[in-house]
């Protein structure tokens, strides 16, 4: 009588498989990062962590899926700089691209490279720009849709050289790389996590890396500033998100597991081979991630507005 039902004992977390949704195709740069993170986080959490690819529409299909998932920490999103550009690029989305998520922690910042098919008629950035200006929209530039890093990098490049190319969208730069290798695509700007091995094997050409410093895994590749185009600078940060409403203690536990995963020697070694490094531990927290994400939304908003390229 008058006794309230005892609250159900809190379920331990995680109590089943955790799914990390990658909003791009398998075999591409986001997928590569996610699989390394999933494996290392799974060891720390004592549960299987699987990666599911939900590519398309520049990352918005996979992001929507997580924004609408049950907020219990078992469905997560691993996304990149597109989380900062999508709110400005899309006028209408079926989910809230900012308020729909709880940041868990930052993961890495990946340099980009301007790459071309093997027989592209240029060997330096200056020569490549001359070809772009001359052949313009006869050239096919691959990207992973509006909101992709390859899309943003293409915007910066076309603005820097004041020339438009024909853009060909893919569900991710994993499949786009196959088309570059086969010569059906001329140019692409993509993350070192997807291009390093193809550049070093000579399967594709590379003209510049889009960061201030050269990348250790591609020591002969000049920076865009060294190659004469300092405005062409961007790196692709990645972060982990839970759906809005995920309990803070679960987000905190996920962040701790992420911090451990980012120190995993296998992950660190593979990141290095692919031209990147994990962020410092104090950036893999919900607070640091949120602050960085909000600042990046503000940074890209006027650049995207000036480029005047929106999706509906
Ligand atoms: C991917 O994983 O396919 C990429 O991150 C695509 C991109 O953003 O360019």
Residues whose CB falls within 8 Å of the CB of residue 12, separated by 6 or more in sequence, listed in order: none
pLDDT digits (tens, 9 = 90+) for 119-174: 999 999 999 999 999 998 899 999 999 999 999 999 999 988 999 899 999 999 99
CA 310 – CA 301 distance, rounded (Å): 12
Mean pLDDT of 240-265: 98
User: Ligand 1 pocket: which of 52, 85, 110, 144 to mutate (most atoms <8 Å of CB)?
Assistant: 144
Distance (angstroms) between ligand 1 centre and the Cα of 59 equals 8
Percent of the chain with pLDDT strictly greater than 90: 88
Distance (angstroms) between ligand 1 centre and the Cα of 14 equals 28
Instruction: Answer yes or no: is the C-beta of 29 below 6 A from any ligand 1 atom.
Output: yes
Beta strands in the chain (DSSP E): 18-22, 49-53, 75-80, 101-117, 140-143, 166-169, 187-191, 204-209, 235-243
User: Ligand 1 pocket: which of 111, 173, 237 to mutate (most atoms <8 Å of CB)?
Assistant: 173
Instruction: Answer yes or no: is the C-beta of 24 below 6 A from any ligand 1 atom.
Output: yes
DSSP per-residue string spanning 241-258 = EEETT--HHHHHHHHHHH
pLDDT of the residue at 310: 67
- Number of neighbouring beta carbons within 10 Å of residue 56: 18
Instruction: Answer yes or no: is the C-beta of 173 below 6 A from any ligand 1 atom.
Output: yes
Mean pLDDT of 57-85: 98
């Amino acid at each position: 009588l008058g006794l309230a039902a005892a609250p159900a004992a809190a379920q331990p977390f995680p109590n089943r498989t955790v799914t990390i949704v990658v909003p791009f195709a398998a075999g591409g740069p986001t997928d590569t990062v996610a699989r390394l993170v999933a494996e290392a986080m799974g060891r720390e959490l004592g549960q299987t962590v699987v990666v599911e690819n939900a590519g398309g529409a520049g990352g918005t299909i996979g992001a929507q899926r997580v924004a609408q998932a049950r907020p219990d920490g078992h469905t997560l999103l691993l996304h990149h700089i597109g989380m900062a550009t999508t709110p400005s690029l899309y006028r209408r989305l079926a989910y809230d691209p900012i308020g729909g998520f709880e940041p868990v922690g930052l993961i890495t910042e990946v340099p980009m490279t301007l790459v071309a098919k093997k027989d592209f008629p240029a060997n330096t950035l200056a020569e490549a720009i001359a070809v772009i200006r001359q052949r313009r929209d006869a050239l096919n530039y691959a990207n992973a849709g509006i909101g992709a890093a390859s899309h943003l990098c293409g915007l910066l490049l076309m603005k820097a050289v004041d020339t438009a190319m024909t853009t060909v969208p893919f569900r991710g730069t994993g499949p786009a790389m196959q088309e570059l290798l086969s010569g059906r695509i001329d140019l692409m700007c993509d993350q070192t996590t997807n291009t390093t091995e193809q550049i070093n094997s000579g399967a594709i050409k590379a003209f510049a890396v889009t960061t201030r410093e050269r990348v250790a895994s591609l020591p002969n590749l000049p920076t865009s500033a060294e190659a004469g185009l300092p405005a062409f600078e961007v790196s692709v940060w990645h972060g982990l998100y839970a759906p809005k409403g995920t309990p803070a203690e679960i987000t905190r536990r996920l962040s701790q597991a992420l911090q451990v995963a980012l120190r995993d020697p296998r992950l660190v070694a593979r990141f290095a081979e692919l031209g990147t490094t994990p962020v410092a531990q104090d950036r893999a927290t919900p607070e640091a991630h949120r602050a960085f994400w909000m600042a990046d939304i503000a940074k890209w908003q006027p650049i995207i507005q000036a480029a005047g390229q929106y999706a509906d």
